[in-house]
Amino acid sequence: MESKKCVWINPERLETAQLQGVKEVEGIDLTVSLSPYDLPSAIIGEYEQEAKDFVISLEYMDDEPRRLAHTNAEGIHAYVGKYSGKILRISIPIDHPPLDRAAFISLEPTFLHAIDEIDRAQPRARLNHRAAKYLIQTEFKNLVPT
């Protein structure tokens, strides 16, 4: 079984994914878009044998330190950039309860839910979270180890 899959991301693809926001400032509508530092350059799916976790990581042009942003009783851990709040890594245990029998493909909603939880706690990086969610929704089948 191949344990790691990577999909390189063309920034132009994310530009067409409606990852812009409009913010009103003193009666003027401003279009806000992702910084190049918040645009993922790759998304990686990997099964970590020792931890028995399926992990999705997002790569960026910088190497920002990470911090734990979300964890729950099922052992799901999500990490964001220490300063930016952008999503760096989400890990889900798959070889022990409650996800021991889950097919990889059925894990997609769990990853998306973790992003929603991060978004509620870290609204300042909302456009990055939207990009991460879009990439998981469109690329999940390509990230599953074979």
pLDDT per position as a tens digit, 7-64: 999 877 776 666 666 677 788 877 777 788 999 999 999 988 888 888 999 999 999 9
How high is the pLDDT of residue 43?
Answer: 96
Question: Quick check: pTM over 0.85?
Answer: no
How high is the pLDDT of residue 33?
Answer: 75
How high is the pLDDT of residue 100?
Answer: 44
Cα(114)–Cα(41) distance, integer angstroms: 21
Q: For residue 64, what are its two tokens?
A: 């920002």
Domains of the chain, residue spans: 4-143
DSSP 24-77: EETTEEEEEE--GGGS-SEEEEEEETTTTEEEEEEE-SS---EEEEEE-TT--E
pLDDT per position as a tens digit, 77-136: 999 999 999 999 999 988 655 544 456 667 888 899 999 988 888 777 888 888 899 999
Mean pLDDT, the chain, integer: 83
DSSP letter for 110, please. H
How high is the pLDDT of residue 101?
Answer: 46
